[in-house]
Amino acid sequence: RIEVIGSLNLDLVSTTARVPQGGETIITQSFSTGCGGKGANQAVACARLSRSQHDISSGSVIVSMAGAVGDDSFGGDLLKGLRDNGVDAASVLVRKGEKSGVAVIIVEEHSGENRILMSPGANFSLKPADFTDLPAPLPDIIILQLEIPLDTTLQILKTAQQKKIEVLLNPAPAQKLPNEAYLAITHLVVNESEASIVTGNEARDIDWTSNTAQHKTLLDLGARHVIITLGARGVCYLSKGKPIRTFAAQKVNVKDTTAAGDTFVGAYAVAIMLNRDRSETAMAKAIDWANQAAAKTVERPGAQSAIPWANELPPSNAK
């Protein structure tokens, strides 16, 4: 079983010809709502990539999510969003009197650039005390991001380490973490800007495809398997004592890159869950499959709705 512990947000997305000035009202081109939050997106990615869209009730991996929503209508939408994609949402707490997390997203039509106001609401009600223990049966893999309070994430890492559960951290939005946090992290998945931030690098224009000194700094943080996603340039895999491996991105017709990183994380987690072998060959296969899954997502518009189902890809263990 994979357990994702993290954020759930309702996305309110307005597309506009231009961004309003102070005091100005603009009639927008379009408006849509959708389920989001990095935690929920990655849980949905794990669930979709381990089941067929024709039968979501059973899959090759059980995927559950722990998090918190408010007792408002958005909270109900977020729970339904998880269940409709095959995620077990029984561990998502519904906090009385709290508001669900909301992201107000303004997309400028001509540039595609977005501006986001994030109100964490119930996501920030998750306290370290909620995770000093984990209920049995324990998951095989825990996936974390950084959209819930940091002290809570650090407690989850401690508990997972005590229970010897493999942890995948996607440190987004990125911040520098205490050194001891990395002792509990087996898989670190970062994009280029996250790689720069977690290594405390001031320069934001590092080329992570070729800069081996920076690669060493990133690996020295302590995670056993480090994956840097490079957008349209693919993926780079680092592991102590092994040569750097790069995987070219699939050549696709790019529509919308939203949720590409979340798809990559979900697919990689499913692949390493289905094959417990951590040899270089097995890791390369997992990364290659996640690279294919993420490419499918960028070919389609939307966030969670763009994430492919297992039946849209070759099997994760295909030769």
Catalytic residues: 262
- The answer to whether residues 227 and 287 touch, using CB atoms and an 8 Å cutoff, is yes
Closer residue to ligand ADP (CB): 42 or 155 = 42
How far apart, in Å, are the Cα atoms of 258 and each of 80, 263, 302? 21, 9, 7
In the bound complex, what is the minimum distance in angstroms from residue 69's beta carbon to ligand ADP? 24
In the bound complex, what is the minimum distance in angstroms from residue 201's beta carbon to ligand ADP? 17
Alpha helices in 134-226 (DSSP H): 150-162, 192-198, 212-220
- Cβ-closest position to ligand ADP: 261
Element (H, E) at 11: strand 9-16
- The answer to whether residues 257 and 268 touch, using CB atoms and an 8 Å cutoff, is no
Residues that bind ligand ADP (CB under 6 A): 191, 229-232, 234-235, 249-250, 252, 254, 257, 260-261, 264, 291, 294-295, 298
Long-range pairs, 312-318, Cβ under 8 A, ≥24? 312/53, 313/49, 313/289, 314/289, 316/49, 316/267, 316/270, 316/271, 316/274, 316/275, 316/285, 316/286, 316/289, 317/271, 317/274, 317/275, 317/285
In the bound complex, what is the minimum distance in angstroms from residue 213's beta carbon to ligand ADP? 21
Compute the half-sphere exposure of residue 157: CA atoms within 13 Å on the CB side of its CA. Answer: 26
In the bound complex, what is the minimum distance in angstroms from residue 250's beta carbon to ligand ADP? 5
In the bound complex, what is the minimum distance in angstroms from residue 187's beta carbon to ligand ADP? 15
Closer residue to ligand ADP (CB): 76 or 302 = 302
In the bound complex, what is the minimum distance in angstroms from residue 192's beta carbon to ligand ADP? 7
Token reading at 168? 């995948």
Category of 200 on φ-ψ map: left (φ > 0), alpha (ψ -120 to 50) or beta: left
Specify burial of residue 57 (Cβ count, 10 A radius: 0-12, 13-18, 19+): exposed
Token reading at 115? 């501006």
Closer residue to ligand ADP (CB): 9 or 159 = 9
Distance between CA atoms of residues 123 and 8, nearest Å = 7
